[in-house]
Amino acid sequence: MVNTPDQDLLETLEATAQRLLDRHLSATKEWFPHTLVPWTQAEDYEPDYEWEPNDAAIPPAVRSALFVNVLTEDNLPYYFRDIERMFGRDGAWGEWVRRWTAEEGRHGMVINTYLQATRAIDPVELERARMIQVQTGAVPEPPTMAEGLAYVSLQELATRISHFNTGSMLTDEVGKKIMRRVASDENHHFLFYRDALTAVMEIDPSSAVIAMEKQTTDFAMPGVGIPGFSGHAKAIADAGIYDLAIHHDQILQPVIMRDWALESIEGLNAEAEESRARLVKYIGRVGKVGRRLAARREEKAAQLEPAPA
């Protein structure tokens, strides 16, 4: 059940939620997973089949990204539980929760089927990891509506970037198309949440800024419960699919500093002013660390390049 302060805010923003939902429905396009999956590549799995990496010509880091991406999508039951807790089941907010859930379910379906058809990932390892991920049910749980909107705004954009960059590193054109299709949906989800928090900001700027700071400084992708997540995350970062530099340059700066105009927000109370100062400093620090790590990675890659003949 949504708590009382959030219930008041949800009711105040009901018309905003309806407007954003209507915009989403008019902007998104209907699509079908079965039309994207390369069924002609599929074969029956023999009972004694044992997967080998050369079953699909995919770099290990890209395979890690696909593994994390699909297992993140597969943990949908717990995201639904939490998003319904924050936004409720009634009115436009409830309609959004259910629409978002239906679209996210389609993402897991198409990626998982693509991986099975192309044998891109060990199906046994993938299924065992899915069972662990869903049985564990570990997901971020923002305590308030404002914090929830701040988190999902950043998370949906991060997911969009991860999916798109993963697809860009696939040589398989079908795989590229699938990941870009999913990334497009994630971008529409991001726009809903970003603009919903903007509306909260107009009503209660202090709560919005405090929420931004808490969820930005404690930010974690929803796949943290995936077996071997740290190792996969490192491989994904080293490949330039998603790292601190991307997090800073494509999420923190454009969303918090530009779209939400953190430094220009007026009417903050003392607590929110302190949150803003900490958040600006934090974003600057993330940028510096991200650039330093990216430079080290480029230097290492250059050292590994063969000398010209």
Tell me whether residue 308 is in a domain: no
302 has a pLDDT exceeding 60: yes
305 falls within a domain: no
Q: Would you say residue 304 lies in a domain?
A: no
Has residue 129 been placed in a domain? yes
- Check whether 90 has a pLDDT greater than 60: yes
pLDDT digits over 8-22, tens only? 999 999 999 999 999
Amino acid at residue number 41: Q
Average pLDDT over residues 286-293: 92
Residue 147 has pLDDT above 90, yes or no: yes
What pLDDT, in 10s, does the model give residues 160-208? 999 999 999 999 999 999 999 999 999 999 999 999 999 999 999 999 9
What share of the chain in percent tops pLDDT 90?
84
Mean pLDDT of 258-287: 97
* CATH code for the domain in which residue 242 is found: 1.10.620.20
Q: For residue 112, tell me if it sits in a domain.
A: yes
Is 233 inside a domain boundary?
Answer: yes
How many domains does the chain divide into? 1
Better pLDDT: 225 or 86? 86
At 303 the pLDDT is: 65
**Mean per-residue pLDDT for 65-92?**
94
pLDDT at 3: 61
**Residue 11: per-residue pLDDT:** 95
Residue 230, classified by CB atoms within 10 Å of its CB into exposed (0-12), middle (13-18) or buried (19+), is exposed
Query: Could you list the residue range(s) of the whole structural domain that residue 239 is in?
Result: 4-297
Residue 303 in domain: no
**Structural domain contains residue 244:** yes
